[in-house]
Structure 1
């Protein structure tokens, strides 16, 4: 049997936010079996907790229904809460294919908590296929330069002029799938926060409810283009169109010459525990 927990990430309310299945003591599983389990769970991501290899508290592998990711935000946030509830530890170092991710967990209520994580600092550059991408999304004129950020997964950020334009998006998923190894992150200002939508048939996710690995790049992108300031917290709301509202908070710190750190936080709540009969 394989024990697992389902955590709704970037929310304090069960059945909202973005769910992740966290499978424990998975060292005996090979990658092909992990991929089949992720497809069986059919959530945007499933994680597998393994014995540490590089000085951390645990090693984590992350799978979408169709591929493995070196890093992803909401799966790490959900895994941190699930591990904290099992071990009673509030400070964890999780090994990922992108390096060590440090997380702090503050319990809130019987099944929930606030999780704060460091993230890999992304690298960025203009997206070379922006014209094709905009056509697939149905966007005529982006509000900011279309830029790709990679911190494990690759996110291409597309700013829009209004929330109404964001809500009205109906991407051509077939044409979008021609853009490999990426997600399209569309966003617009909405008062004190930013609304965001994520589309990624390349990662097996038509639309995601909360994309934690894109929150850090968002904070950097907004600061680079004068829409926010480095060091200030950026509040992002996602998943509204899916009926699973999620709240993500990101801060990017810039040193003398470069971005030095990215911190992302949000609530999470456990909603199920069980066993796979394998």
Structure 2
């Protein structure tokens, strides 16, 4: 695992947006950030799941989170702009954004990739990420120490047979991250990506249904890196894809 000693209250007074916050890694990150003092903004497509995470955070006596129901597959550029403007007006700033939501598509031979599947994966994993980042950057720049974190994969740095759409989308994600990191290198914004590795999530189970889940890292196991990149300890880190395990 990525070795980092999490300090209590290290995210106090930070406002952090988490996409895909209704389940899996996004849910774990949102609750972890809240426990460390942050006010979290929960973005996801399923209101019921977001409300469950909201209730869990409130039950722990933590700062009240905000809920943003948004389906990245159908959201428009204006939706993201409006959301960013609302965050700026309601919170005055945005200290961090974890762009975690992704879709797997299907695992299939390259010559059998369905055009609609490819299009849907690119829409959620690339187009939405670009539009979301574009809209969020002005709000992130309102704070002195902002962190933008993308989510990559092992297949985003080394292509793998049958993983076509997802793999290609994660190569694009890493390129997107690097472009933003380079453009804002001398600003208050740092931009990086996380490769979570093999983790016990529903997406992983759909890709490897016969796998022994007991041998996989849990979402809690990989949180040190997620906290590190949102904390002030990572101020000098920019343009990197880092493995969580």
The structure whose residues are more often strand, as a share, is 1
The structure whose residues are more often helix, as a share, is 2
TM superposition score normalised by structure 1: 0.27
TM superposition score normalised by structure 2: 0.30
Max Rg structure: 1
